[in-house]
Structure 1
Amino acid sequence: MTIVKKIIIIGAGASGVYLSILLKQKLEYQCEIIVLEQNASPLKKLLATGNGRCNLSNKDMSVDYFSTDQKDYVQDIIDQFDMLKQMNELGLYCVYQGNLLYPKSEQALSVKQVMMNCANELGVSFFYNQEVISIEQSKRYLVHTTHQTYQADYVIFAMGSEAGKLSGVNNSRYDILKKLKLDVVKSTPSLVQMTTLPVIKEWKGVRVKGTFSLLENNQCIHKEKGELLFTDYGVSGIAVMQLSAFYQENHQYELSIDFFDDQDVKKLHEYVELRMNKGYNHFYDGLLHNKISTYFARRNLTSTLEIVKLFKDFRLQVTGIRSYETAQVMKGGLSLLEVNHDLQIEKYPHLYAVGEILNVAGLCGGYNLHFAFASAYRVAQAIEREFHAKNK
């Protein structure tokens, strides 16, 4: 007689829901799957991904786009997962737009509907408003929530991070790990807005395209070509989000803005010289957004070199990054030194971790969702192998 094993997944985010589907598909009647979620509904963060369009993956999938403490683990996990193929098997039709993979519908809602329909049809049990507060190891694992205690043979941490408050506002997910004497790397916001000095309030709401560089001691730490949005606290936009991933506490940074990244210094110098020789009364009009032109005009610059520097290397002091409440992800989490290649926690048999609860944080561009799904796939394969080995 086959003994049914109980598997509890903590967290109904992308990695947790996908893992529940894979385990039910692979093990069918051999396991009972319970997903505990502290929110009132599943996949809240996924719905906000890619401005609701849900960028699932990227053709340029390299560990170089991730911050982690075990790059070889992460590279192997992301390499072994084919997002396009796996989503197609779920019934989600996806297409590449350049390097970025999206559902054909360009709706994160489609991804949620396909995943939840599949999980429900397979018989996965979801329990909501169940905030897990601790795990206790006995003959079986005891999972204590704010409402009751569950017993399990396997437990998988898939509770994400506090980024964006969309996984729930309680930070106890890290406390659960610490109570188990596990090493947790301090969590800090990533893919988040920056605060600056000065704050040019008259530029609030202005978007500019260009190349933006994070500098420390005049050395470029990282640069991004794209779009920046000026705000009443500093700067935002995809390019800024990417730069924030390279921000470290207790470092002094500047943001360099190249408004004319399509022109090298020499050509721009010639153009500015020509424009000055024509004697325009309103020199900056027609070059930049009106609010930026007005601001620059007040400087009364007369030197071509000064004007070119203003256009190619406009500096703002970076005073910090915003909090987890507006971040897309968090750097830090459970150290990968605590897990093996199958993401099983070394100190605790049948205890696994997937997704953003791990110390793995990618840049914008589908990297974080790819890892969330890929890590779930890795754990599903490991548990399936163990079940089959025991049943031989």
Structure 2
Amino acid sequence: MKKIVIVGAGASGVYLSLLLKQQMPQNQIIVLEQNKSPLKKLLATGNGRCNLSNRKMHSQYYQSDQLKMVQSIIQDFDMVEQMQKIGLYCVYQGDLLYPKSEQALSVRNVFMQRSEEAGVVFQYEQEVLQIQRQKHQYLIKTNSQNIIADVIVLAMGSEAGKLSGMNTSRYEILKQMHLKVVEPVPSLVQFYTSPVLKSLKGVRVKGTFSLVENEKCIHQEKGELLFTDYGVSGIAVMQLSSFYQKHHHYQLYIDFFDELSHNQLCQLLSKQSSLFLEGLMNHKIAKAFQKYQYLSIDQLVSLLKHYPLEIKGIREASYAQVMKGGLSLKEVTEDLELKQYPCIYAMGEILNVAGMCGGYNLHFAFASAYRVAKAIERNVYVKNS
């Protein structure tokens, strides 16, 4: 019998525990979680609806230092088929895949029920502080106990969004093991802007939004933006934030009328009455633009099609959905086994893999667990035969 310890009860950790117990029921599977309960971040995914995957599943929607490996992992995993095997029925809404229930809670309940029924042991409030090699096994030191393991899987997640815990010891463990860690920075997060349009707080705008540096468009997103009391938020902003880099100076350009060309908007405005922009856009935005009544129609249209905000920075990790950075994929094999440490694997958010909004990060979490499960089953079988 082998003792397999999974560090982290997030999406990848819980799914892996279930796969391993189903494939190798004779082995002891222990999941260590630093929080008081499992799958906390999963419950917030997709505004509680749990966006699991996307029809357009390709490595171009990810950032990593080994995109070819990412492509192999995500392509090797069929979310609909694998979820149905554990009793979770999923349906596509457009390109986005959701559980039929549209409830992250039901996903959590299915995973935990199946795992506990299979005999997985979950231990909570266990922060792993150190991992040491001991001949052919490993010693795991937590805040309250020592555990000897034959196989370890690192699935600690990241500090994004508070929900998987803000302790940075997850990275210290990797550094103690002399593994390369790409500096983690927040991604899929809101922008601080100048000016801050506080009069528009709570107003949502549909349009096209461009991240620009030195008059060059870095990336463009069509979607929705939300004005806040610190800057801007919304799905389009979250996507743009994944292209943000420290020590760069960016502007955000808003096209309030992306469905109209410059000339078409000029014609439309030329027919407006003294109400100015009322009837064309949100009342609060129309009111905010009243100060530009002195502009010519051509100048006003240029402003409405390219309204500039200076980006002062991104919000902190506690507000982010994911972190760019983490354990370099150059440290692992195609099976996600650490090259320097046989029988230690890494998966999910602890790796230097960050996807866009739209189910990409959850897909990688489950797909990486699936890859590790196959590798452990194969390796344990070979060693026992």
* Both proteins in one fold, TM over 0.5: yes
2:294 to 294, 301, 304: 301
Which of these residues, 235, 238, 256, is aligned with residue 235 of structure 2? 238
Letter in 1 for 2:48: G
Q: Alpha-carbon deviation of 1:274?
A: 3.1
Instruction: Tell me if 1:137 matches 2:133.
Output: yes
| Counterpart in the other structure of 1:269 | 266
The answer to whether structure 1 residue 319 and structure 2 residue 316 are counterparts is: no
Cα separation, 1, equivalents of 2:196 and 2:237: 15
Query: Is residue 381 of structure 1 aligned with residue 374 of structure 2?
Result: yes
- For each residue in 1:73-116, what CA deviation from the matched residue of structure 2 results, as whole angstroms up to 9, or x when unmatched? 00000000000000000100100001100000000001100000
Code of the residue aligned with 1:361 in structure 2: it is A
Note the C-alpha offset of 1:302.
3.4
Q: Partner residue of 1:113?
A: 109
Conservation of the 8 A alpha-carbon contact between 2:208 and 2:222: yes
Q: Which residue of 2 aligns with 1:257?
A: 254
Deviation of the 1:299 alpha carbon: 2.2
Q: Which of the numbers 334, 355, 365 marks the counterpart of 1:372?
A: 365
Letter of the 2:83 counterpart:
M
For structure 1, the residue ranges without an aligned partner over 5 or more in a row are none
2:357 corresponds to 1:360: no
Counterpart pick for 2:22 among 25, 29, 41: 25
2:196 counterpart of 1:199: yes
Q: Which stretch of the first structure deviates more once superposed, 9-18 or 308-317?
A: 308-317
Deviations 1:14-38 (A, max 9, x none): 0000000011111111x10000000
Number of residues paired by the alignment?
384
- SS of structure 2 residue aligned to 1:165: coil
Paired residue for 2:181?
184
Indicate the SS of the match to 2:35.
Answer: coil
Which of 38, 45, 48 is 1:52 aligned to? Answer: 48
In structure 1, give the amino acid aligned to 2:343.
H
CA-CA distance at 1:236 after TM superposition: 0.3
Measured after TM superposition, the shift of residue 165 of structure 1 is 0.7
* Structure 2: gaps of 5 or more residues: none
Say which SS state the counterpart of residue 30 (structure 2) adopts.
strand
| Residue equivalent to 1:99 | 95
How far apart, CA to CA, are the structure 1 residues paired with 2:294 and 2:49?
A: 44
Alpha-carbon contact 2:337-2:345 (below 8 Å) kept: yes
Whole-Å Cα distance in 1 between the matches of residues 301 and 295 of structure 2?
11
1:390 Cα deviation after fit = 2.4
Deviation at 1:301, TM superposition (A): 2.8
Rounded Cα–Cα distance in structure 2 between residues aligned with 1:92 and 1:300:
56
Match for 2:65: what amino acid? Answer: D
Q: Out of 130, 149, 153, which is 1:152 matched to?
A: 149
Supply the RMSD in Å over aligned alpha carbons: 0.8
2:225 aligns with: 228
- Which amino acid is 1:305 matched to? D
In the other structure, the counterpart of 1:170 is: 167
- Distance, in Å, in 1 between the alignment partners of 2:145 and 2:162 is 24
Give me the whole-angstrom Cα distance separating, in 1, the residues matched to 2:60 and 2:109: 32
Structure 2 distance, partners of 1:57, 1:285, is: 40
CA distance in 2, matches of 1:270, 1:212: 23
- Residue 75 of structure 2 is aligned to residue 79 of structure 1: yes
Secondary structure of 1:374 counterpart: helix
TM normalised by structure 2 equals 0.99
The AA in structure 2 aligned to 1:262 is E
TM-score of the superposed pair, with normalisation by structure 1: 0.97
| C-alpha displacement of 1:391 | 3.1
User: For 1:47 and 1:255, how far apart are their aligned partners in 2?
Assistant: 31
- Give the counterpart letter for 1:267 in structure 2: Q
Q: Is residue 2:86 matched to residue 1:90?
A: yes
TM-aligned CA deviation for residue 386 of structure 1: 1.1
The answer to whether the 8 A contact 2:206-2:224 is kept is yes
The answer as to whether partners of 2:292 and 2:300 remain within 8 angstroms in 1 is no
Aligned-pair distance for 1:273? 2.5
- Displacement of 1:287 after TM fit? 1.2
What is the match of residue 38 of structure 1?
34
Shift of 1:388: 2.0
Please list, as runs of the form range in 1=range in 2, the aligned pairs for 1:10-21 lying within 5 A after superposition: 10-21=7-18
Aligned-residue offset at 1:62: 0.6
Taking the aligned partners of 1:16 and 1:41, their CA distance within structure 2 comes to 13
